[in-house]
Amino acid sequence: MDAIALRLEGGAHDPHCDGIIAAIWPMLREDCLEELSGRKEAAAADALLWMISKRIQAGVLVLDERGRVVRANAAGAEILREGRLLREAADGLHCPTPNETRALRHALKECLTQGADTEMILFLERDGDCGRLPVSLSSYPGEDLVVALIAREPDPKRVEMIAQKMGLTPVEARVAALMQLGIPNRQAAYIAGVKEQTFNTYAKRVLAKLNMSSRAEMAHMLTWQAGMGRA
């Protein structure tokens, strides 16, 4: 129910104010609601962009048709600064090897040629690392732009922080982070500086506190949580 308050000062049109308000209020009310809705939608769009730019752990790069970086979120900028997977150059992005650079350029061209809803997955090797990281390339509708999404390995410190937020003590969180890496208990115990039996005791306590049935389940959950956002 709407409530309208009028301040009348004895003017000649005061007797007609009720009729005027009744006539114009429905349209004025719709205009007010549309303005409020528009502000909320704009704020929601800004919130989404802020989350992608500042908080998402995965690297996001917006590339032009030549593979040059137009925009990057914070994680994407870190990847470029490291230069181990991708590095910027005047002629576009480069990979550690010429073959991978050619594959990247070819994939960019294919995305732009095939148009909207096209997605391609590349596995690129980091310089000095035997592993490969997946890079997703998606064409942006209506523009000659490609969005690259680069998965990142969770930061162990972030894994520990999340584990503590979930109710573990600092020692238990450290054990959980080592368990998340998937290394054997003997090796994890050595890294933690405790006996293997002590580590096993802590590992059982961690699973019980997190209500997890297995190490794999716990590792999957912590990896997923750590990959969602940045510390």
Query: Does the residue 9 lie in any domain?
Result: no
Count of domains observed in the chain? 3
Query: Does the residue 162 lie in any domain?
Result: yes
Domain boundary among 107, 130, 150: 150
Q: What is the pLDDT of residue 10?
A: 74
Q: What is the pLDDT of residue 182?
A: 83
Q: Could you list the residue range(s) of the whole structural domain that residue 136 is in? A: 55-150
Q: What is the pLDDT of residue 94?
A: 94
Q: What is the pLDDT of residue 146?
A: 92
**CB of 157 closer than 8 Å to CB of 181:** no
Cα 52 to Cα 56, 59, 66, 154, distances in angstroms: 5, 9, 23, 17
Cα 42 to Cα 47, 85, 108, distances in angstroms: 9, 35, 31
Q: 129 and 163 share a domain? A: no
Query: Does the residue 106 lie in any domain?
Result: yes
Query: Does the residue 70 lie in any domain?
Result: yes
Q: 27 and 86 share a domain? A: no
pLDDT in tens, the chain (231 residues): 567 776 777 777 677 667 767 777 777 777 776 766 667 677 777 777 676 666 677 888 999 999 999 999 888 898 999 898 999 999 999 998 999 999 999 999 999 998 777 888 988 888 876 567 889 999 988 888 999 998 777 777 888 888 898 899 999 999 999 988 888 889 989 988 889 999 999 999 999 999 988 888 888 888 777 766 544
Q: 65 and 143 share a domain? A: yes
Q: 27 and 82 share a domain? A: no
Q: 146 and 97 share a domain? A: yes
CA diameter of the chain: 93
Query: Does the residue 1 lie in any domain?
Result: no
Q: What is the pLDDT of residue 231?
A: 44
CATH of the domain at 206: 1.10.10.10
